[in-house]
Structure 1
Amino acid sequence: MDLALYAYTLLSICIFIIISEQATYLRKKGSAPGPYLVVPFLGNALSMVRNPTAYWHDQASAALSSPLGLSANLLFGRFVVFLRDSGLSQKVFANVRSGVFHLIGHPFGKKLFGEHNLIYMLDHAHKDLRRRLAPNFTPRALATYLPLQSRVIVSHLVAWGHLANAGNAPLPIPLRLLSRDLSLETSQTVFVGPYLPQNDRLAFKNDYNLFNVGLMKLPIDLPGFAFWRARLAVGRLVDTLSGCAAKSKERMRAGDEPSCLMDFWMAETVKEIAEAEKAGMPAPPDSSDREVAGHVFDFLFASQDASTSSLLWAVTLLDSHPDVLARVREEQAKVRPTGSLDITLDQLREMKYTEMVAKEVVRIRPPATLVPHVAACDFPITEGYTIPKGTIVFPSVYESSFQGFTEPEKFDPDRFSGERQEDQVFKQNWLPFGAGPHHCIGQRYALNHLMLFIAVFFTVFEFRRHKTPGCDELAYVPTIAPKDDCLVYLSFRKDFILPKYTA
């Protein structure tokens, strides 16, 4: 009898919790479109994890059907709001500050990245850190990174060409994982240069892959689960980067010239540390080896998967637009008449059309399609709807990219020409690098990387996509990529001369 009473009481409690959760969800949802019934505790989390493409498409469709420009749902027991309208997204980006909206990067990012992270910093602390990071992206710094980027890109592309033609007949090769390896080695080389020995890079790569997998799995922080493995991997990555920071400080104190991003940052940091010591003051904030390592990991996270996505879409889009491809190759022949792959900053600045292509790639296929924030207060996002405090808000950069622009569904690099300047005319909708106080500080570096890849790939290779049904549909991995992983036939162009450093 006692057992039956216990079971009845437990069942009653569960029913009460489920009804309360449902009632709370409906109260928060209000007039916003979205499901009226949600799965207890999980909401629509399983459908989001199983097929994120379909899930976010449904959210966008629901928002499109409403004059509010947004939709609501429940994920892992958290109330979420999806913003389709770019004006609403801009409101969120412009109000990232204490007491309003907080950028979180990932719904469970704090468990992965830790509390002290550039993503989560606000107000004066955030402004001060961005000031300290500014030397990393000056023209001098970008010019230093350029040959490092070029050599990594060329070395990987040559390896791709050999891989595609290793057998008796050319084979189509999927570029996604190859592009991810290219982007990771570029990041390693540019960010920490000589401080990450070659024999440590494989372990670094494996840990980053574990982190990547964990991002897209259920947030179960228990031994054996992908999320748990991802969190441990981040700890090891930060440990490795801490050692790199210590070595960089040592070289910069010795007066050596900066050779990587960390050096440009540490060159100023060691001066500030010395001044603080001389004045009997504590070291400046964000200057310890581990703090520096955590922020460099932020750079890695921000650049690695975004770059991978853009490289894949550049290949996909130029394959289907031979007129654009012809103009890219024409410009490259003019800017680099000798065909040299050691591209200088001056040459890069001459590649006006290539830059337009790069901008259009990230407009029509923005890598970070969604930028999660959490509401720190009740925020009236429209006249008819207030986002409740604690809501996870998803401004959609992807949906914004198709608003306002001339024929937005068309791949048209000329929209960024000096005559049309649609990136300025429709600035509110061109959001691949975000907006507001947390806009991407490495925007120019990211565009340079994509331009270098375009300049080299399309002058080194003859290529064609291996077309299959649905191959160009979006896949979230975690940034967007072609569903087929960009399956391509490659062969070296007849006039290509193998650089000595790739032999």
Structure 2
Amino acid sequence: MVSYLSFLSPFAPFFVTFLLLFLLVEQISYLRKKRNVPGSNIILPFLGNAISLTTKPTSFWKVQADLAASLGFSVNYIIGRFIVFIRNTELSHLIFANLRPDDFLLVGHPFGKKLFGEHNMIYMFGQDHKDLRHQIAPNFTPRALSTYTTLQQIIILQHLRSWERLSSESPGKPIYLRLLAPDMNLETSQTVFVGRYLSREAREKFRDDYNLFNTRLMKLLFDLPDFAFRNARLAVERLVETLSDYATQSKKRMSEGDEPSCLIDFWMQETVREIAESKEIAESKTAPPRSSDVEIGSYLFDFLFAAQDASTSLLLWVVTLLDSHLDVLRRVREEVSRIWSPESDTLISAEQLREMKYTQTVAREVIRYQPPAALVPHIAMKDFPLTESYTIPKGTIVFPSVYESSFQGFTEADRFEPKQFSEDRQEEVIFKRNYLAFGAGPHQCVGQRYALNHLVFFIAMFITVLDFKRRRTEGCDEIMYCPTIFPKDGCRVSLSQRCPRYPNLTLN
């Protein structure tokens, strides 16, 4: 050992010199990219500000937003990557509008293509992406949405009943909605997307695989046996295989003239029609693009993934904000009770849903005030002129802030005020460019009407069938990035039954 160290000792000055030179080059490279833009002037080697981002993400992004106040954007350095944080809404639109392979790519995950597979909507562009969105459109027509609303409401009621039972079993102990809401959302997505094709056993396996994927999504990214990332990737493959099999079954039903009962049926009904027309016109047995069962299974998984964390985030913020704004809670209860009663043994109809105008404004304001996907990371594929005086360097990770845009333009932007979305004020129209919770540009969320309906149904039923009390602690409303935003305490509540009985409805 001594002789080995003696051998290396003459080289020590060279190693130290090389290390110092590397650190100097790294610092100079950062400052060259930074130029005169607000941001850290000195960075830790390689790590940059990764420690503060990991330990205190909320304060990290707040600092970035404060730094960006003057120019509309700021810069930083995280684990070897230069980043640009965008606060200004118009600059964010510039990024969203240039989403294409030669300008910006969405970053769903550091190894998204490997994890989600090659058939993924996030990584589609141009005409292919437009054509796929056209194929998906029949899934969200008024007819399709009316089918989904029945399924959504029954599942919401079933889970509210179980939450109330769980809370009543331990009166002095709050329950954590952060742990309960994901199961409700997953069951809703399962049932709405592929409902009748899921047996009880298949539901359990499906749920286990999805939870395996979701809990390992942001773990160490080593694609090796027994590592979390490998397990997540294999879970995705099994889920896609399962969903592909359901696409096969649905195509058969729809080709036989059966009526659609879930999202995949509406999709396959249109696909079967297109295949038939294609064969008639071209006298060919070649199926239209993007209609293979594997592709459809992959796209369905995209829907499933998009419908989970964002929806859970919104449900928790609904409870949090209604608990801290009792005047809003009172008005929602008055409106819902005037239109619908849980004792009627009927669900909320489409007409009744339209009548709940104030409840709709509350839902929209929750989405504005606490947009779940607060940041939408992109990678610059080339040097991109952001302003007349600054060009984003190629390889930069760019973070347009949906959250910051939500607090720009609106008359009472810093307050939770549903009236901003009333018919009199219509600020979601006036300040449409600031309302980015559902995205903007070619990749804007296709299922936003479905998501809004789900939130309104939850609000109406939660406040009508249950009394709730938030168990607050210091800092409980602080925003946590996981990666969508949640209340720090996971929304701890105590629940009790408010109405004499619930609707006695079950899924077929």
Q: Fold conserved (TM > 0.5)?
A: yes
Q: What is the CA deviation profile of residues 106-150 of structure 1, one whole-angstrom value per residue up to 9, with x for unaligned ones?
A: 344233223431011111111010000000000000001010001
Q: What is the CA deviation profile of residues 408-447 of structure 1, one whole-angstrom value per residue up to 9, with x for unaligned ones?
A: 1211111001111111111111111111111111110000
How many Å separate the matches in 1 of 2:450 and 2:97?
23
Q: What is the CA deviation profile of residues 326-360 of structure 1, one whole-angstrom value per residue up to 9, with x for unaligned ones?
A: 11111112211564451121211111111100000
User: Which aligned pairs between 1:63-462 and structure 2 lie closer than 5 A?
Assistant: 63-64=68-69, 67-167=70-170, 169-277=171-279, 279-280=283-284, 282-337=286-341, 339-340=343-344, 342-462=347-467
Look up the SS of the partner of 2:407 in the other structure.
coil
Between 129-138 and 370-379, the greater mean CA deviation after superposition: 370-379
Structure 2 residue identity aligned to 1:139 = P
Deviation at 1:176, TM superposition (A): 0.9
How many Å separate the matches in 2 of 1:13 and 1:248?
63
Between the two proteins, the alignment pairs up a number of residues equal to: 499
How many Å separate the matches in 2 of 1:204 and 1:12?
55
- Give TM-score, length-normalised by structure 2: 0.92
Cα-Cα RMSD:
2.2
Contact 1:49–1:218, Cα closer than 8 Å, also in 2: no
Structure 2 residue identity aligned to 1:240 = T
Structure 1's 274 and 44: CA in aligned 2 closer, same or farther, altered over 3 A? farther
What is the aligned counterpart of 2:31 among 9, 16, 26?
26
How many Å separate the matches in 1 of 2:238 and 2:13?
47
Matched, 1:473 2:478: yes
Structure 1's 42 and 225: CA in aligned 2 closer, same or farther, altered over 3 A? farther
Structure 1 residue identity aligned to 2:493 = V
Structure 1 residue identity aligned to 2:328 = V
Deviation at 1:213, TM superposition (A): 2.9
How many Å separate the matches in 2 of 1:20 and 1:195?
58
How many Å separate the matches in 2 of 1:26 and 1:221?
34
Contact 2:359–2:459, Cα closer than 8 Å, also in 1: yes
Look up the SS of the partner of 1:33 in the other structure.
coil
Between 379-388 and 467-476, the greater mean CA deviation after superposition: 379-388
Between 382-391 and 220-229, the greater mean CA deviation after superposition: 220-229
Between 1-10 and 242-251, the greater mean CA deviation after superposition: 1-10
Look up the SS of the partner of 2:77 in the other structure.
strand
Query: Which consecutive unaligned segments of at least 5 residues does structure 1 have?
Result: none
Deviation at 1:494, TM superposition (A): 4.1
Q: What is the CA deviation profile of residues 233-263 of structure 1, one whole-angstrom value per residue up to 9, with x for unaligned ones?
A: 2222222212221211121122111111111
Contact 1:463–1:489, Cα closer than 8 Å, also in 2: yes
Whose Rg is larger?
Answer: 2
How many Å separate the matches in 2 of 1:14 and 1:274?
66
Q: What is the CA deviation profile of residues 84-127 of structure 1, one whole-angstrom value per residue up to 9, with x for unaligned ones?
A: 11111111112223422222233442332234310111111110
Contact 2:33–2:393, Cα closer than 8 Å, also in 1: yes
How many Å separate the matches in 2 of 1:394 and 1:163?
40
Look up the SS of the partner of 2:483 in the other structure.
coil
Deviation at 1:193, TM superposition (A): 1.0
Q: Percent identity?
A: 59
Q: What is the CA deviation profile of residues 253-287 of structure 1, one whole-angstrom value per residue up to 9, with x for unaligned ones?
A: 22111111111111111232344455326322211
Structure 2 residue identity aligned to 1:333 = S
Contact 1:319–1:464, Cα closer than 8 Å, also in 2: yes
Q: What is the CA deviation profile of residues 450-475 of structure 1, one whole-angstrom value per residue up to 9, with x for unaligned ones?
A: 00000100000111100111111111
- Equivalent residue for 2:3? none
Contact 1:459–1:493, Cα closer than 8 Å, also in 2: yes
Look up the SS of the partner of 1:370 in the other structure.
coil
Deviation at 1:220, TM superposition (A): 3.9
Deviation at 1:19, TM superposition (A): 3.6
Deviation at 1:381, TM superposition (A): 1.3
Structure 1 residue identity aligned to 2:59 = A
How many Å separate the matches in 1 of 2:305 and 2:472?
31
How many Å separate the matches in 2 of 1:114 and 1:44?
31
How many Å separate the matches in 2 of 1:291 and 1:59?
39
Look up the SS of the partner of 2:434 in the other structure.
coil
How many Å separate the matches in 1 of 2:153 and 2:335?
18
Contact 1:106–1:372, Cα closer than 8 Å, also in 2: no
Contact 1:170–1:490, Cα closer than 8 Å, also in 2: no
Matched, 1:487 2:466: no
Structure 1 residue identity aligned to 2:112 = G
Deviation at 1:7, TM superposition (A): 6.6
Contact 2:375–2:403, Cα closer than 8 Å, also in 1: yes
Structure 1 residue identity aligned to 2:320 = T
- Give TM-score, length-normalised by structure 1: 0.93
Deviation at 1:4, TM superposition (A): 5.0
Structure 1 residue identity aligned to 2:267 = W
